[in-house]
Amino acid sequence: MNTANDHEYRDAGGFIAEVIRSSRRKTADIRVEQGVVSVIVPTTLSTERIDELLAKKRQWIREKMLLHQEARPASTRRFVSGEAIPYLGRNYRLKVIDGPFKAPKLDKGRLVVSVPGGSNQPEMVRNAVIRWYRRRAEEKLPAKVQRLAPSVGVTPDRVEVRAFRSRWGSCSPKGQVAFNWRIMMAPNRVVDYVVIHELCHLIQHDHSPAYWREVARVMPDYAQWRDWLKDVSHELEV
C-alpha cells in the first residue's frame, strides 16, 4: 500500500498506519491517538523498514488501540453504509466498500470509505473517518484563521489541529492556536465561533467581560453559537 490522496499508508495487518515523513526526524516514532495509528519517520526511511517497525510494535499498538476503544465515550455509530456523517452542518451518507484501503472521499453526497473487510471492520472504518475529519480540519481551520484574524486584529504564529478530549481549542502565550478536529462535525458558523474564540484569547487571556466584548465585536451573535456548542457537544463524537 503506497499513497492515497497524497498521504502514505501501510496495511499493518488488522490496522492501517499513516506514514508521516519529516526531515526533522532522525528516528521513527509511533503514535496512537484516539485509536488512530501514525508513524513519524525520517524522509528517506524505506517502506520495508517501516513495515518491520510496525510488525515489531504490533502488540503494543493493538493494546493502545484497545485502551482507546474502552475509554472513549459511548457511541451509537456502527460505521456501516447509510449512516449519517456530519460535516460543517450537513449530513453525508457513509458508503463502506470492502477493498484495499483508500483515503475517504466525498462523492455525490456520500463519504466513501474503502477498507479490507468493509463493514466487518467497524474500527478500521471509524479510524478512516477520523483521519478524514483531521485532514479536513488541517485544510479548513488554518484558512479560517487566516480569514478571521484580521477582523480580530491578531496574527497567530502557528495553527495546529489536535485530539483534545474536553476542549474545542486552546491558545498559548506564544501566539499558537490549536483546535479539536471534532469541531468539523459542527455547523460552519459554530466553527467560526471557535476560531474567533481562540483568536480573541491572543488579546485577552481570560474570560473577563473585556474578553467577551472582543468576541462580540467580531461576532455579535456569538452567544447563539456558544450555546449551540454547549447543548450539542455531546453528539459530536465518532
- Three-class HEC string of 50-113: HHHHHHHCHHHHHHHHHHHHHHCCCCCCCCCCCCEEEECCEEEEEEEEECCCEEEEEECCEEEE
Please, what CATH class does the domain formed by 133-235 belong to? alpha beta
Residue 146 has pLDDT above 70, yes or no: yes
Average pLDDT of the residues in 181-201 = 97
Contacts of 57 (CB under 8 A, 6+ apart): 30
Tell me the pairing of strands 110-115 and 90-98: parallel
Q: What is the pLDDT of residue 82?
A: 96
Which residues of the chain does CATH 3.30.2010.10 include?
133-235
Mean pLDDT of the chain: 92
Cα separation, 207 vs 217, in Å, equals 15
pLDDT band at 150 (very low <50, low <70, confident <90, very high): very high
User: Do 202 and 171 form a contact (C-beta atoms < 8 A)?
Assistant: yes
pLDDT band at 2 (very low <50, low <70, confident <90, very high): very low
Average pLDDT of the residues in 75-93 = 92
pLDDT in tens, 36-49: 899 999 999 999 99
* All three cell numbers of 232: 450539542
Q: What is the pLDDT of residue 13?
A: 80
